[in-house]
């Protein structure tokens, strides 16, 4: 009986030697792979050791294997292979280091710019259960970069902070213990700030954790005078 296989087309580009990208086509035995990440690991280990991609936990927690898969963003460790042709591209809006690996420096710069840490009003302040429930919708972000890549504004405006940065900002705006509310809001009042968001909801569609960055952005807008 013929063994079942999966077909997968993988984006390949090495900026040190290539002038244009291409898609290389592979077949992977179904007995060796269930998810897209399984297939990429099999390709790297048994077919083409030059394939470059990021992956770590394989449990949908670290966010390092975020990619554009079969027409939408997702985590390669969670997206199952489908019959027919699977197609894998790197995250968008960021320079390609090699193949499916991108340079996330701008993503991290924008994230750090919103001061993604708690500054307490006092050492004695304790978070209430009710307040913890209030911020629950923001804390599951795994910083995979999918929302940043799906956002049209990050592509046309290099100064725009991007959805992930705004989610973490809203997390601290909602935290009753935080002392930097005014400073945080001041950061995103300018022309590259939160009002540059056009509410296209691409970020919501891309988020693998269903955080809904667009709703967090709307909440921030309501807090700005």
| Mean pLDDT, rounded, for 107-133 | 91
Q: How many residues does the chain have?
A: 225
Inter-axis angle of helices 163-173 and 105-113, to 10 degrees?
Answer: 20
Res 191: pLDDT: 82
pTM of the model: 0.92
- For residues 134 and 183, the answer to whether their CB atoms sit within 8 Å is no
Complete domains list, the chain, with CATH: 4-102 (3.10.20.30), 105-223 (1.10.1060.10)
Q: Where are the alpha helices (DSSP H) in the chain?
A: 36-42, 105-113, 129-134, 146-150, 152-156, 163-173, 181-187, 202-206, 213-223
* 1 pLDDT higher than 70: no
* 224 pLDDT higher than 80: yes
* 96 pLDDT higher than 90: yes
């Amino acid at each position: 009986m013929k063994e079942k296989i999966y077909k997968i087309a993988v984006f390949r580009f090495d900026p040190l030697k290539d002038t244009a990208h291409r898609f290389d086509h592979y077949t992977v035995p179904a007995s060796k792979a269930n998810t897209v990440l399984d297939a990429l690991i099999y390709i790297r280990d048994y077919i083409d050791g030059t394939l470059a991609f990021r992956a770590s936990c394989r449990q949908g927690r670290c966010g390092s294997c975020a990619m554009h898969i079969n027409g939408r963003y997702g985590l390669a460790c969670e997206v199952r292979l489908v019959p027919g042709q699977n197609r894998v591209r790197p995250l968008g809006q960021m320079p390609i280091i090699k193949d499916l690996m991108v340079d996330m420096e701008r993503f991290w710069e924008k994230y750090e710019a919103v001061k993604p840490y708690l500054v307490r009003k006092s050492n004695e302040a304790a978070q209430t259960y009710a307040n913890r429930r209030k911020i629950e919708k923001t804390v599951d972000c795994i910083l995979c970069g999918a929302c940043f890549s799906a956002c049209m504004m990050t592509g046309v405006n290099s100064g725009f902070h991007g959805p992930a940065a705004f989610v973490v900002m809203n997390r601290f705006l909602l935290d009753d213990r935080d002392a930097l509310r005014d400073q945080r809001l001041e950061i995103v009042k300018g022309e590259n700030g939160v009002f540059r968001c056009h509410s296209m909801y691409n970020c919501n569609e891309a988020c693998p954790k269903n955080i809904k960055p667009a709703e967090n952005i709307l909440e921030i807008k309501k807090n700005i005078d």
